[in-house]
Chain A
Amino acid sequence: DQQVKQNSPSLSVQEGRISILNCDYTNSMFDYFLWYKKYPAEGPTFLISISSIKDKNEDGRFTVFLNKSAKHLSLHIVPSQPGDSAVYFCAARWGARQLTFGSGTQLTVLP
């Protein structure tokens, strides 16, 4: 029973265009959401987060949007760069409980 779902295993985008990675969740108790990025042969690194009291958080080229009514989270990367090619995991937390991760989306940014 996956409470955090990333339905697209892969996504390809041209350099300079927008990348949109999506994440759906089923547990309405989740109150904090994060995105991690993972390069091959490295551990995941924290990218950006958002609290459930907000609907948008921006950090440079990265923006996370939260739609609580739809239980949907998205990560926008603008403009996309070849160095953004990686696996992106969304994760969610409920109070003091541990993070629940999605299955990941492989983003490929084509030069």
Chain B
Amino acid sequence: DVKVTQSSRYLVKRTGEKVFLECVQDMDHENMFWYRQDPGLGLRLIYFSYDVKMKEKGDIPEGYSVSREKKERFSLILESASTNQTSMYLCASSFTGTNEKLFFGSGTQLSVL
């Protein structure tokens, strides 16, 4: 079974803190993604990566950055956390190809106080 593992299930941070969310996948997928899920808004794409050291902005990249130093690991960074970044963060991965399916991690619920 494909496994996408997110390092924390719950995280509480203070406004202005630098926050790292880590994601690891074990299926040698080329593509990795970071989404946030908010009530009434569904899943919105923050950043994605097609390969090591590659990154592309999604629909809502402001206030976030990412790092992909190894194929299996994709990190989401909040440089200076703000209260409007309180959300459920979901990591996903997939193979490259037409109509590839995303495999998601269990999510990290981040609260910024």
Show the binding face of A for B, using Cβ within 8 Å. 2, 4, 6, 9, 32, 34, 36, 41-46, 49, 51, 89, 91, 93, 96, 98-99, 101-104
Show the binding face of B for A, using Cβ within 8 Å. 4, 9, 33, 35, 40-45, 48, 58, 90, 92, 98-99, 101-107
Contact in complex: B99, A98 (CB < 8 Å)? no
Q: Report chain B residues within 8 Å CB of A45.
A: 104
Contact in complex: A102, B106 (CB < 8 Å)? no
B4 to chain A, nearest CB (A): 7
B105 to chain A, nearest CB (A): 5
Contact in complex: B44, A32 (CB < 8 Å)? no
Q: Which of B33, B44, B58, B99 is most buried by chain A, counting CB atoms within 10 A of its CB?
A: B99
Alpha-carbon distance between A89 and B90 when the two chains are bound, in angstroms:
14
Query: Who on chain A is nearest to B109 by CB?
Result: A41
Q: Report chain B residues within 8 Å CB of A4.
A: 42
Alpha-carbon distance between A43 and B106 when the two chains are bound, in angstroms:
4
Q: Report chain A residues within 8 Å CB of B43.
A: 44, 89, 91, 101
